Amino acid sequence: MSDPALADALREKIISDPEVILEDRDLMRALIAANERAMGANIVDLRGIAMQRLEERLDRLEDTHRSVIAAAYENLAGTTQIHRAVLKLLDPTDFEAFLNVLHSDVAEILRLDSIRLVLETMQTQHDPVLRSLGEVLRVAEPGFIDAYMTAGRGGQLRPVVLRQTLPEAATVYGEAAEWIRSEALMRLDFGPGRLPGLLVMGAQDPQQFKPSQGTDLLGFFAGAFERAMRRWLA
């Protein structure tokens, strides 16, 4: 530095407030590199190596911290959505209004492209009352729900399944199956002596529902939905 007065002022500033340098990563890297060059190629600076490793650990910790915060916000947003949807299910005073709320308000709150309620019944071909309640309600023969959830392979049946749609999806979505790419399946238990039900959430985005995602919130929603349905089936 050619100006002695400027050099003295800078020196005094650094001495009085060294954090200015210590908190600046780029400046610290430059000083360490200059120190290594001054020591020569045959000298190993253990302090520099240790500092580099600590810096790498700090970077990893910061990345983890950001990921945890993002996941927490995402989980909070999802919880809020589920709670709003559950409250909407409590408003209707008849079954037809209940299905309308499911198809409109609940689907909008949860940002779904499709939602279907599948009920197993012994009279799938001769029940005009069920068929008159709109496309949100689908009827199927006994055994359909378990077969659909396991893709016909049997095995252990999970209460909530997240996956990309299968060719058999047309049975559930009808014409909409052409553009539904992922789905969440929630098996519904309506109590002793009753056939099960299935709540199906569909999305155009093939990544909206994936097997790697958690199912706790959907499990809670399915439990609330079961209790609301029992009121109409009583």
142, part of any domain: yes
The pTM for the full model equals 0.68
What pLDDT score does 232 carry?
81
- Percent of the chain at pLDDT > 90 equals 38
Q: Same domain, yes or no, for 124 and 185? A: yes
Residue 139: phi, psi to the nearest 5?
-115, 150
Q: Same domain, yes or no, for 25 and 119? A: no
The better pLDDT of the pair 170, 15 is held by 170
Q: Same domain, yes or no, for 49 and 93? A: no
- Percent of the chain at pLDDT > 70 equals 74
What pLDDT score does 184 carry?
96
Mean pLDDT, to the nearest integer, of 78-84? 89
What pLDDT score does 132 carry?
55
Q: Same domain, yes or no, for 164 and 103? A: yes
What pLDDT score does 59 carry?
74
Q: Same domain, yes or no, for 56 and 138? A: no
> Residue 187 burial by CB count (10 A; 0-12/13-18/19+): exposed, middle or buried?
buried
46, part of any domain: yes
Q: Same domain, yes or no, for 55 and 99? A: no
Mean pLDDT, to the nearest integer, of 98-123? 91
72, part of any domain: no
pLDDT tens digits for range 118-163: 999 876 555 555 555 668 899 889 999 999 999 878 777 899 999 9
What pLDDT score does 135 carry?
81
The mean-pLDDT minimum among 105-109, 119-123, 144-148, 208-212 falls in 119-123
Q: Same domain, yes or no, for 34 and 134? A: no
Q: What domain range includes position 21?
A: 4-62
What pLDDT score does 58 carry?
75
Query: Token pair 């810096």 is at which residue?
Result: 55
157, part of any domain: yes
Domain count, the chain: 2
- Residue 49, pLDDT > 70, answer no
Q: Same domain, yes or no, for 217 and 160? A: yes
Q: Same domain, yes or no, for 57 and 145? A: no
Q: Same domain, yes or no, for 133 and 211? A: yes
Mean pLDDT, to the nearest integer, of 100-118? 93
**CA within 13 Å, CB half, 145:** 24
